[in-house]
């Protein structure tokens, strides 16, 4: 037997080792060029190309420079393929590794659009009988970008594709999404993400995102999300569990969207909140929005630790712990809406029917409000007021009940038809008053701090105090005639004046005339800030009611005349008489008293105008004539003297300012 030299064996092995990969390369390249690539190009409707191919003895095939149309490319694709499949041109690998892939697809109506007709991919893919499907596809490096058009884009890295029955599961590492909807902006960042994609339709049926954050707008706080799951189908549902507690779910079904929240923090949602809601506290409940030409809404939310901020409500944020229920509809064509609202805070409940009409620019054209307050314990109403708002009332204990209704309606096109009706049955009684205001102290020598910090004692011990008994009737009467003609008849509120003021304000499209009584003005000057808000007016009403219950009308008028502002830094009838006329208040004439009463609404403006003109200007001359006429109707000026009094206005001698 002839012995083959060892060197010859090594040479043969080396030749085979070199020839087999070369042969495999030629065979596989030919099979790809002649069969696989044309079939894929035809199936995908896009040109498929590669730069090079390598095949190993272990059945590993590596394609470099892979390109499918303009949206998909990869540095290399490595697949482990059985030798029999290689020789048959059947590329059915157990695992595929894609290096540096670059895919940019569009997401339209729940489908992924990769730029080629996916419906034909499955049936065009060459597979032999009994072929084992690929179990995993790993993407190393590179980037997957889903273009959402005007709604943003999604980027994912470290992607793996796991084929499964009816589709593929996409698992990604660090992922992010920039989302846009009209003026809204959101960013989502997650450590891991997964998608179930139905093939060949490329429809996303389920998505799950793990351990991430959600932020709305630019900057600000983020919402820490433990898990977010999206399920698509006949309806789409998104559920999220938040770190530290809290849950959010969104369901979109046909033309309706339903939001469910449990302990959802508001701070990270600042960019999506209306300007009048401060981003604080948490909210729980549901909200359903119906889309279409006439969108509908239904809301049932409970807030804890929330804060409301609106210039019409209060000068600083008001805490809100309560429940809001609302439902209604909006007519886009008519730019009008109507609905029902229920507001519940502690044991206080308010029900309202609301109608609104807007102009094309979104400004309010008209509104109607019918608000009902069921018979409620006065103590419960007081307890429901936000603490910053009710600070002057803390320490006031009430008994009894109150209830009633408020009706408001206006149309800026017909201001004369504006309507304001208040019908309240107030059966409250004061049990104890240790409040900050404590209006009962006005019965004695009350010490009042003026806006400039000076103290004024409302008693004869103060040299600037003028007792009502020392004033001529025409002096005190001038202020009653000008400011509150029914002062001695009403109980602190003049409903007719409020209605007239409301009509004037609607016509002017701003607060032109306050309609406050002398009692209300005294409360404002003694106990409250100067801000013009609904919240302050509410507390003003409570204090005015208390004032009228406990203080004599003449004392109210006396205190008012000694604190009212009648010039820049001039407070009270005594200092005003000296400032404007160089005389004590008891010597003021009817004309001089009419002038002082005429400037109560704008004393600093009067001083500035008259100071520049050096005399009584036309604006305040007309106002003084109106007061004189009111004094004549109240028999404070005799009819025989009225003409002379009015004529003397043009020569009214005012002290140099």
Residue 216's pLDDT band (boundaries 50, 70, 90)? low
Once rounded to an integer, what is the mean pLDDT over residues 209-219? 70
pLDDT in tens, 96-110: 777 777 777 776 665
- Which pairs from 304-311 meet CB under 8 Å and 24+ separation? 305/280, 305/281, 306/266, 306/277, 306/278, 306/280, 306/281, 306/282, 307/277, 307/278, 307/280, 307/281, 308/276, 308/277, 308/278, 309/275, 309/276, 309/277, 309/278, 310/275, 310/276, 311/533
β strands within 427-505, DSSP E: 429-433, 446-449, 455-458
Cα–Cα dist 280/265, whole Å:
7
Q: Hey, how many other C-beta atoms are within 10 angstroms of the C-beta on 299?
A: 17
> Taking CA 102 as the corner, what is the angle to CA 101 and CA 104, rounded to the nearest 5 degrees?
140
Looking up tokens 């007719």 gives 496
Instruction: Classify domain 445-651 by CATH number.
Output: 1.10.3810.10
Q: Which of 602, 593, 556 is nearest to 477 (CA)?
A: 593
**What are the residues whose beta carbons fall under 8 Å from the beta carbon of 426, sequence distance 6 or more?**
402, 545
Mean pLDDT check: name the lowest of 5-14, 213-222, 389-398, 620-629. Answer: 5-14
What's the rounded mean pLDDT across residues 146-169?
78
Nearest to 44 by CA among 133, 119, 150, 139: 119
Judge whether 584 and 573 are in contact, CB under 8 Å. no
What's the mean pLDDT in 269-281?
Answer: 79
Distance, CA of 114 to chain centre = 38
| Structure tokens given for 174 | 């660090």
First to last CA, the chain: 140
Domain positions in the chain are 1-70+84-93, 445-651
477 in helix, strand or coil? helix
pLDDT classification of 118: cutoffs 50, 70, 90: very low
User: Cα(368)–Cα(418) distance, rounded to whole angstroms?
Assistant: 10
- Is the model more confident about 585 or about 37? 585
- Paired with 160 in beta bridges are 138, 171
For range 113-123, the mean pLDDT? 51
Which residues lie across from 60 on neighbouring strands? 80
Task: Indicate the average pLDDT of the chain.
Answer: 80
pLDDT band at 495 (very low <50, low <70, confident <90, very high): confident
pLDDT of residue 651: 72
* Percent of the chain surpassing pLDDT 90: 31
| Sign of the CA dihedral running 568, 574, 575, 579 | positive
Cα distance between residue 294 and residue 329, in whole Å: 6
Q: Which two tokens stand for residue 538?
A: 């509410």
Phi then psi for residue 467, to 5 deg, are: -65, 145
- Segment 133-157 shows an average pLDDT of 72
Dihedral pair phi/psi, residue 452, rounded to 5° = -90, 5
For 430, residues 6+ apart whose C-beta sits below 8 A from its C-beta are: 396, 397, 398, 546, 549, 550
Q: Which residues contact 112 (CB under 8 A, 6 or more apart)?
A: 105, 106, 146, 197, 202, 203, 204
- Residue 122 pLDDT class (50, 70, 90 cuts): very low
Structure-token pair, residue 325: 């229920």
Q: What are phi and psi of 227, to 5 degrees?
A: -155, 140
Checking if the pLDDT of 11 tops 90, the result is no
Q: What is the pLDDT of residue 294?
A: 82
Overall residue count recorded for the chain in this entry: 657
Q: Give the C-alpha separation, 406 to 394, whole Å.
A: 26
| Of 131-140, 308-317, 600-609, minimum mean pLDDT range | 131-140
46 or 464, greater pLDDT: 464
pLDDT band at 386 (very low <50, low <70, confident <90, very high): confident
Q: Pairing state of beta strands 336-345 and 48-49?
A: unpaired
pLDDT band at 369 (very low <50, low <70, confident <90, very high): very high
Under DSSP, the state recorded for 146 is E
Lowest mean pLDDT of 19-28, 41-50, 615-624, name the range.
19-28
The CA dihedral of 531, 535, 537, 543, to the nearest 10 degrees, is -110
Across 391-402, average pLDDT: 92
């Amino acid at each position: 037997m002839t012995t083959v030299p060892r060197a010859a064996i090594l040479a043969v092995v080396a030749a085979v080792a070199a020839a087999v990969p070369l042969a495999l390369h030629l065979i596989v390249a030919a099979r790809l060029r002649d069969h696989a690539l044309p079939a894929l190009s035809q199936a995908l409707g896009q040109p498929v190309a590669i730069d090079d191919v390598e095949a190993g003895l272990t059945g590993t095939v590596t394609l470099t420079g892979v390109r499918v149309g303009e949206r998909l490319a990869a540095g290399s694709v490595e697949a482990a393929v059985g030798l029999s499949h290689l020789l048959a041109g059947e590329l059915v690998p157990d695992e595929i590794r894609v290096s540096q892939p670059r895919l940019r697809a569009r997401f339209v109506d729940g489908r992924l659009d990769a730029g080629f007709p996916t419906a034909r991919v499955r049936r065009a893919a060459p597979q032999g009988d009994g072929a084992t499907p690929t179990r995993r596809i790993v993407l190393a490096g590179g980037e997957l970008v889903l273009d959402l058009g005007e709604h943003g884009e999604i980027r994912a890295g470290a992607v793996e594709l796991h084929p499964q029955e009816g589709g593929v599961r996409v698992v990604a590492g660090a992922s992010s999404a920039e989302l846009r909807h009209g003026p809204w902006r959101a960013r989502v960042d997650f450590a891991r993400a997964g998608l179930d994609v139905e093939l060949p339709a490329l429809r996303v049926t389920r998505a799950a995102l793990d351990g991430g954050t959600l932020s709305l707008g630019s900057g600000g706080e983020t919402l820490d999300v433990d898990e977010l799951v999206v399920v698509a189908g006949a309806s789409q549902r998104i559920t999220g569990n938040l770190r530290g507690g809290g849950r959010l779910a969104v369901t979109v079904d046909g033309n309706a969207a339903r939001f469910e929240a449990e302990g959802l923090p508001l701070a990270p949602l600042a960019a999506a909140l209306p300007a009048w809601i401060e981003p604080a506290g948490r909210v729980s409940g549901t909200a359903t929005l119906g889309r279409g030409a006439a969108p509908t809404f239904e809301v049932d939310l409970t807030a804890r630790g929330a804060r409301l901020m609106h210039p019409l409500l209060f000068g600083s944020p008001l805490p809100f712990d309560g429940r809001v229920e609302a439902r209604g509809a909006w007519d886009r064509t008519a730019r009008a809406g109507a609905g029902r609202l229920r507001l519940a805070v502690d044991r206080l409940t308010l029900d309202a029917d609301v109608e609104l009409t807007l102009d094309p620019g979104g400004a309010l054209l008209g509104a109607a409000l019918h608000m009902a307050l069921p018979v409620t314990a006065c103590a419960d109403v007081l307890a429901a007021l936000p603490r910053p708002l009710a600070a002057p009332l803390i320490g006031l204990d009430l008994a009894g009940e109150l209830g009633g209704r408020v009706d408001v309606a206006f149309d800026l096109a017909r201001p004369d038809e504006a309507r304001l009706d208040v019908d309240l049955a107030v059966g409250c009684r004061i049990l104890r008053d240790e409040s900050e205001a404590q209006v009962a102290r006005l019965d004695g020598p009350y010490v009042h701090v003026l806006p400039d910090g000076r103290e004024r004692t409302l008693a004869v011990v103060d040299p600037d105090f003028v007792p009502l008994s020392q004033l001529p009737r025409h002096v005190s009467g001038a202020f009653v005639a000008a400011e509150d003609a029914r002062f001695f008849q009403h109980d602190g509120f003049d409903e007719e004046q409020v209605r007239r003021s409301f009509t004037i304000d609607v016509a002017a499209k701003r607060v032109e005339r306050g309609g406050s009584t002398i009692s209300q003005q005294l409360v404002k000057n003694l106990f409250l800030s100067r801000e013009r808000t609904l919240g302050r007016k509410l507390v003003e009403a409570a204090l005015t009611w208390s004032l009228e219950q406990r203080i004599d009308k003449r004392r109210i008028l006396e205190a008012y005349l000694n604190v009212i502002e009648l010039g820049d830094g001039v407070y009270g009838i005594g200092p005003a008489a000296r400032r404007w006329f160089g005389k004590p208040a008891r010597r003021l004439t009817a004309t001089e008293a009419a002038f002082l009463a005429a400037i109560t609404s704008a004393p600093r403006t009067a001083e500035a105008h008259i100071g520049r003109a050096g005399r009584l200007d036309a604006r305040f001359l007309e106002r003084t004539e109106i007061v004189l006429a009111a004094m004549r109707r109240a028999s404070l000026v005799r009819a025989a003297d009225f003409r002379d009094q009015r004529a003397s206005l043009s020569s009214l001698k005012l002290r140099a300012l």
